[in-house]
Amino acid sequence: MKYLALVLKSARRSKRRTALTIVSVALAVFLFATLRAVLDGFTAGAAASSSTRIITIRSTSLIFSMPTSHADAIRSVPGVRDLTWANWFGGIYKDQAHSFANFAIEPESYLRMYPEILLSADERSAFLADRTGCIIGESLARTNGWKVGDRVTLKVGIPTYGTRDYDFTIRGIYRSSSSAVDTQSMMFHWKYADERSLVKGQAGWFITRIASPDQEAQVAGAIDAKFANSPYETKTDTEKAFASSFISMFGNLNLLLGSIALAVVVATLFVAGNTMAMSVRERTTEIAVMRTLGFPGGTIFSLIAIEALLMSIVGGVVGVVLARIAINPRVLPSGGFIPEVSVDTQNIVVGLGLSAVIGAVSGLIPATLAARLKIVDALRRVA
């Protein structure tokens, strides 16, 4: 790579221009990686869903409940290995601004059905033993500075749960082994909510474990058939479908974030391409001289192209490093219902790839022009 020195010197020719180009590529890559990370954050849960868990809700919509007596009927369906249920509680902690997901679970079966929830044996038994106990996801605990033993009070959000505030004691702080379960939620005993509910014995959704994924359609159909034409008709679907429907509620995120990413790339191509073109224009005479000395057009092309690529990749590295540092749950405000966002290896690779593409594309035309420059024209421009 004897030409590397030449390329580097060229880039140092105008330190400012090189710096500005690196900055714009870095920002583009930073944004790109961030947008991808945001999209991943939203879709991670659905992507990691278990293929052997299916969810049963009221066919009317999620906001309606079903009697817990449905559980027996469901258990009798062939192919059902295990069952649990949960209710959306929607309790308010301090005020709307501090809101987070909180729901009532059938404790023993729920923890069994969701092995992703990681609790120490002590915390687990303490939680199961305490009717007013609760478990908090570690991210939520961090946000609010909670430890095991702290007391948490929730005001009733949904009128059906009565009027008195609910007091809880934190019995465990759980971690999650998969994106399928987030750590920004709070879970507590279903019985505690039920005993104060205006209508007793209601479940928000049932979670059923099936033996193998290919039985899904059959078991789901059988479950729904049990309650067809009853006042509590159900709709059963995979956990993935259930999670996906939540994501789609935000809007067409793919389209929105994708369009922005596209605009980012195009804008950067303009800037980077412009820079390379300007830099080449400045060097017209030198290039002509080199051609006179005998450098073939192909070499000239490579020199320019490599310079463009180099600047872009440096920018790309800066961009992904910045993204990695800045975009993670510790720095970004997440919490509540916004999923945690962080830049993972895949995003980094894509970001770097993008910078290489920008470098290649922006360098293409200037490099070609430089290679094809008519020596005579170039030398004439000196005087």
Q: Summarize as ranges the residues that interact with other proteins (CB under 8 A).
A: 16-17, 20-21, 23-24, 27-28, 30-31, 35, 59-64, 90, 92, 96, 155, 157-159, 231, 233, 235, 244-245, 248-252, 256, 259-260, 263-264, 266-268, 270-271, 273-275, 277-278, 282, 337, 382-383
CB of 123 or CB of 307, closer to other proteins: 307
CB of 31 to other proteins, least distance (A): 5
CB of 128 or CB of 158, closer to other proteins: 158
Strands (E), the chain: 53-58, 66-67, 80-88, 101-105, 117-118, 133-137, 151-154, 166-176, 185-189, 202-203, 205-210, 234-238
CB of 232 or CB of 295, closer to other proteins: 232
CB of 293 or CB of 382, closer to other proteins: 382
Full DSSP string of 56-105: EEESS-TTS-EETTHHHHHHTSTTEEEEEEEEE---BSSSGGG--EEEEE
CB of 131 or CB of 155, closer to other proteins: 155
| Nearest one of 356, 282, 269 to 320, comparing CA atoms | 356
Angle between helices 4-13 and 15-47 (to 10 degrees): 100
CB of 326 to other proteins, least distance (A): 11
CB of 249 to other proteins, least distance (A): 4
CB of 194 to other proteins, least distance (A): 17
| Nearest one of 307, 306, 316 to 353, comparing CA atoms | 316
CB of 383 to other proteins, least distance (A): 8
Q: How far apart are CA 33 and CA 351, in angstroms?
A: 6
CB of 60 or CB of 292, closer to other proteins: 60
Give the three-state DSSP class for 237.
strand
CB of 122 to other proteins, least distance (A): 36
User: 């004691």: which residue's tokens?
Assistant: 169
Q: How far apart are CA 224 and CA 57, in angstroms?
A: 10
